[in-house]
Chain A
Amino acid sequence: MPYNIIVCVKQIADEVRIDPSTNEPVISNPQYRMEDLSKNAVEEAVRIKEKYGGKITALMFCSDSSTPVMKEALAMGADEGIIITGYKENSPDFSAAVLAEKIKSLQYDIVIAGYASADSYTAQIPARLSKLLGVPLLGSAIKVDISGKKIDILREADDLDIKESADMPAVISVTQETNQPRLPLLANIIASARKPLKVEATAVQYKETSKIISDKAQQSSRKRIIYEDINKGVQEITKVLKQEVAV
C-alpha cells in the first residue's frame, strides 16, 4: 500500500572555519550542505516509496528561502518540498515545535528524520516530534521493514541491537548504517526544478531558553615535535614509548 512520508531535512554549514585571532567560528555567509543523516533519511523515504508507492514531502526548517539542499532532496526522490523560514540555531525544542506544527497540517503515515545532526548533535528532534505529534518513535533504526500499517525496525542502541515495532503513524530516526544515500542523477536534478516547492515563514513563537557565554575552539597544548627524518623520529619516539610503557 502507498504511504504518505514526510522526511525532515537539515542543512548545516559545509565547513566551519575558526578565526585564529578570536578562536571563534566564522559563520557569516556559510556554504550549506545536506546534513549527513538527513541524507540517510531521504534515502530511506525514497526506498520505501520505490517499494510500496506513495508520496514524499521533504520538510526543511532553515534561515533562507532558497536552498540547494532542498533541491538535492527533491533530486534524490522527494516529490515536493516545504521550506519553513525563521530558524534559530542551538534551539532543538523550537525546531521540533515548528516542524511538528507543520506536520500536523499534513497527511502522513511515516515521519523520517536523522538520529542526530553532525553539527549540534543534540539528538532531540525525533523524540520531540514523537511527543508533539503523539505518535510512537522508532529510533536509531538501522533496518526498516514495513507491512501494512506495521513498522518493524532493528534498533542500534550502543552495545545492543533491539527489534522494535509500532503501528503507523510513527516517527523513525535513522543512522549512517541504515542505508547508503544515492547520488542524484543529472536527469533527476533537472527534473527536480519542476517539483512543487512551498516556502513559508513559521508562526511559532520563539522563546529563548539559554544564553551563549562563549563558543570557542579548544586550545591544544600539545608539544607538536614533528620529525621529517624518519630514522630520527623512530629513535626519539621509541624513547618516549620506553618511558611511558614497560616494553
Chain B
Amino acid sequence: MRALLFSDKLAFSEMMASLLRDGFDIDILAFPDHAADLTGYGAKEIKGMEKEDYAADSLADFIAGMSKDYDYIFIGATVLGREAATMLSALTGNVMKSEITKIEISGGKARTSRLYYGGKTVLEEESDAKIFTVSQGLVEPSRTAASSKTTKVVNQKTSKITVGEKIEKPSTSVDITKASVIVSIGRGIGKKEGIEKIKELATLLHGELAGSRPICSDYHWLEVERQVGLSGKTVSPKIYMAIGISGQIQHVAGMRNSKTVIAINNDKTAPIFQECDYGIVGDLYSVVPLLINAIKQTGQS
C-alpha cells in the first residue's frame, strides 16, 4: 500500500513517517526547506517542492494531481493541513477522516480512531477513507538506517487567495512536547503574579512551565506555545504536574499520555483527581512552597 505524507511542519512529517512507515510504503511531499532533513525517516522518496505554498486551495490542487499514484494520503493536522486535506477530499471525491490517532487497513477498509465529543470519547470507525489528517504528537520521531531518494517536484500556485506577509509569532521557541517534566497551571492560580512561585518549582525540577487554555489563550498569562490540551499541544512527559487545573476533558486529552500525573487542587471533586497518580487536596499557595522546600531539602541530603 502506497501512501503520500505531507505537512507544512517538519516535525509533523517526521512524526507521521515514524508512525506510518511500518504499515505503508511511504513517500513524503515536503516544503523545499524540509526535504533534506526528511531523508532518514523511512520514506522511499522525498518529493521536495520547488516552492512552499501556504494557500490551501492551490496546495490541494497540486496534491490531487499526485494522488492517483497513491492508495492513501496522510496530512498533518495543522491549520493549513486540515484545509488542504478537506479540499483534496472535495476535489477527488475520496472519503476523508479527520484528526486520526490510529489507523489499520484491513480488507480494503480503513479502521481509524479519533477523539470525539471534545475529547470525552474515542470514536472508532471503519470507512473507505483514502485521505486522513493525523493528530500531532502520536509517536516520538525516530530515524531509520535506510536513506531516501530525493526528487524535486514543480508546483504551480494558482490560488483564489493572496498570501501576504508571514509573521513569526513572538515565540520563546519553547517546545513543551519535548520536556520530560511539565509543571502546568490552570485557572486555580487566580492571579498572574502567582506564576512566579510555580516557575520556581518548574526550574527546580528542570521542567517547563505550561498552562490550560484559559491561562494561555484567554488571559495570555503564558505564551500560547505552552498551552496543553485539545486546542493546544499534546504532551507525554515523565512527570506532569497539574496545579490549579480542574481537569476538563479538553485539557486531559492533551496530557493523557504522561507517565506520572501529579495534581494539586483545592477542590476535592475536581475531575483532575480521577486522572492523576498522586494528588494533594489543598490550596496551591500553601502546597507549592512546602513542596519547593521539601525538594530542596532532599536535594541536599
Contact = CB atoms under 8 A, between A and B. Distances in A.
Contacts of B238: 244-245
Nearest to A139: B83
A161 B86 contact: no
B175 to A, nearest CB: 10
Nearest to B289: A234
A155 B280 CA distance: 41
Interface stretch (B19-27, B39-47, B186-194, B293-301): B293-301
Interface in B238-252: 238-239, 250
A22 B207 CA distance: 38
Contacts of A236: 278
A218 B178 CA distance: 24
B57 A130 contact: yes
A247 to B, nearest CB: 5
B151 interface: no
Interface in B191-248: 204-207, 217-218, 225, 230-231, 238-239
A64 interface: no
Contacts of A242: 295, 298
A49 interface: no
A235 B78 contact: no
A155 B171 CA distance: 17
B127 interface: yes
A238 interface: yes
A211 B109 CA distance: 10
Interface residues of B, number: 85
B279 A224 contact: yes
Interface in B67-83: 78-80, 82-83
Interface residues of A, number: 75
Contacts of B91: 131
A241 B259 CA distance: 12
Nearest to B273: A226
Contact residues of B: prevailing secondary structure: mixed
Contacts, number: 249
A4 interface: no
B157 interface: no
Contact of B277 (A211, A223, A247): A223
A164 B167 contact: no
B103 interface: no
Interface stretch (A39-47, A76-84, A115-123): A115-123
A29 interface: no
Contact of A165 (B126, B161, B169, B259): B161
A124 B96 contact: yes
Nearest to B263: A226
Contact of A217 (B82, B121, B276): B121
B64 to A, nearest CB: 11
Contacts of B298: 238, 242, 247
A164 B256 contact: no
Interface of A: 13, 16, 18, 24-25, 90, 92-93, 116, 118-124, 126-128, 130-132, 135-140, 155-166, 176-177, 209-218, 220, 222-228, 230-231, 233-238, 240-242, 244-247
Interface of B: 9, 54-57, 78-80, 82-83, 86-87, 89-91, 95-99, 111, 115-118, 120-129, 159-169, 171, 180-181, 204-207, 217-218, 225, 230-231, 238-239, 250, 256, 259-262, 268, 273-282, 286-287, 290-291, 294-295, 298-299
